[in-house]
């Protein structure tokens, strides 16, 4: 019953068990393809949660009485329907592609350098698609793609997701940054210690308990005088959000942007640490993060009143103002001197 509710599939007869991984994993855990980060799948990949499905299994044994208030939210597969839970990920990917829809929670972006960043399924971490090339062709039943950008047709059988027990279905995973082999930080948006160094915070990101992952429509650029810097790995970042009667608010530094509807593009331009950060963020759905949301609507017309441009080449804006005031006070004095002469 819990599985039917989770996937929104009333004809589902039961929850599939893992058929890979060997002794100790096979037939002893949930199918990784269907419940990716559920704690009772056969391997830990990210953000482990104990869902109502696992609690229901324990209760069904007759040995336990489950306290469902302790269940954790599982986003993977939620309300995806019978096609998702009862058919292969190839069927899901092909159907979504034909309808020109996102193939989420699966992905088809090659893991390469530079990285094309995206968001984890629950939008709480920056992630990358784990699609990769294997040294040998994958078994026929795990060859999912009829086409991939930049991949010749004869090489397609070599490509799949990096997690074998997920049936090689590619999905987005959180990751860690390392420097010279040493762990630096993870990509979980909620951990404040993951905040990037100011000199490398190209996207003006903010990590912390109220932060989520947002898709970037374009690479952020840091501008200072005649210098422009951008980071090759882009596509998503962590930003603080809050809920209000008006809808979802996205905060970049101290500037608030209102998301009136899902897919709305926010044009960001803020000053931070002596640099101007410019980029575009895509609004998520308000209901992804807020319990109460107003109806979606078109954003209000942009305020065309232009603020005074920031002089990126000056060391201090207050110094520029001071110099202008000094000049203004000197002009009458100089004029008087010329007249007296």
Task: Fill in the DSSP letter of residue 117.
Answer: E
Across the range 14-43, mean pLDDT stands at: 93
Environment class of 341 (CB within 10 Å of its CB; exposed 0-12, middle 13-18, buried 19+): exposed
pLDDT at position 166 is: 95
Percent of the chain with pLDDT over 90: 74
At 106-139, the pLDDT tens digits run 999 988 778 899 999 899 999 999 999 999 999 9
- 233-270 pLDDT tens trace: 999 999 999 999 999 999 999 999 999 999 999 999 99
Q: How far is CA 165 from the centre of its chain?
A: 24
User: What's the whole-number mean pLDDT along residues 282-303?
Assistant: 87
What value does the mean pLDDT take over residues 37-59?
93
Count, residues in the chain: 341
**Which has the closest alpha carbon to 106: 121, 87, 116, 124?**
121
**Tell me: domain 88-174, CATH 2.10.55.10, correct?**
yes
- What pLDDT shows up at residue 314? 57
Asked if the model's pLDDT at residue 155 lies above 90, the reply is: yes
Q: Where are the domains of the chain?
A: 1-86, 88-174, 192-288
Give me the CATH topology for the region 1-86: 3.90.132
> In the structure, what pLDDT confidence band is assigned to residue 60 with cuts at 50, 70 and 90?
very high
pLDDT at 323 over 60: no
| Alpha helices (H) along the chain | 2-7, 52-60, 82-86, 89-98, 317-340
pLDDT tier, 313 (very low <50, low <70, confident <90, very high otherwise): low
pLDDT score for 312: 59
pLDDT at 114: 85
- Angle (nearest 5°) at CA 210 between 204 and 214: 50
The helix or strand, by DSSP H or E, that contains position 242, with its residue range, turns out to be strand 236-244
Residue 41 Cα to chain centre, angstroms: 23
Q: Are 287 and 224 in contact (CB under 8 A)?
A: no
CA distances from 194 to 127, 191, 280 (A): 14, 6, 22
Q: Which residues contact 247 (CB under 8 A, 6 or more apart)?
A: 258, 259, 260, 286, 290, 293, 294
- Residue 200, token pair as written in the block: 């490398």
- Kindly give the pairing relationship between strand 227-230 and strand 211-224: antiparallel
Q: How confident is the model at residue 44 (pLDDT cuts 50, 70, 90)?
A: confident
Was 44 annotated as part of a binding site?
Answer: no
């Amino acid at each position: 019953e819990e599985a039917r509710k989770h996937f929104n599939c009333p004809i589902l007869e039961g929850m599939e068990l893992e058929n890979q991984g060997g002794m100790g994993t096979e037939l002893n855990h949930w199918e990784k393809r269907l419940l990716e980060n559920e704690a009772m799948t056969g391997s830990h990949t990210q953000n482990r949660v104990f869902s109502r499905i696992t609690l229901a299994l324990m209760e069904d044994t007759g040995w336990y009485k489950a306290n469902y208030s302790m269940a954790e939210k599982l986003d993977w597969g939620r309300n995806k329907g019978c096609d998702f839970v009862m058919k292969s990920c190839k069927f899901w990917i092909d159907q979504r592609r034909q309808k020109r829809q996102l193939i989420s929670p699966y992905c088809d972006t090659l893991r390469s350098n530079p990285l094309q960043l995206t968001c984890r399924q629950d939008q709480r971490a920056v992630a990358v698609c784990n699609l990769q090339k294997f040294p040998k062709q994958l078994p026929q039943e795990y060859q999912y793609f009829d086409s991939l950008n930049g991949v010749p047709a004869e090489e397609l059988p070599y490509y799949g997701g990096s997690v074998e027990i997920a049936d090689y279905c590619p999905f987005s995973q959180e990751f860690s940054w390392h420097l010279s082999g040493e762990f630096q930080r993870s990509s979980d948006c909620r951990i404040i210690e993951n905040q990037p160094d100011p000199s490398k915070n190209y996207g003006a990101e903010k990590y912390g308990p109220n932060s989520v992952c947002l898709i970037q429509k374009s690479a952020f650029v840091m501008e200072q005088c005649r210098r422009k810097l951008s980071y090759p790995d882009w596509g998503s970042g962590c930003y603080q959000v809050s809920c209000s009667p008006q809808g979802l608010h996205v905060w970049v530094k101290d500037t608030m942007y209102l998301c009136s509807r899902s897919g709305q593009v926010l044009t960001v331009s803020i000053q931070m640490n002596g640099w101007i950060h410019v980029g575009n963020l895509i609004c998520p759905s308000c209901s992804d993060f807020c319990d109460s949301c107003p109806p979606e609507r078109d954003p209000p017309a942009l305020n065309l009143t232009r603020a005074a441009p920031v002089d990126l080449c000056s060391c201090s804006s207050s110094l520029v103002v001071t110099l202008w005031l000094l000049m203004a006070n000197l002009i009458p004095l100089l004029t008087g001197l010329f007249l007296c002469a």
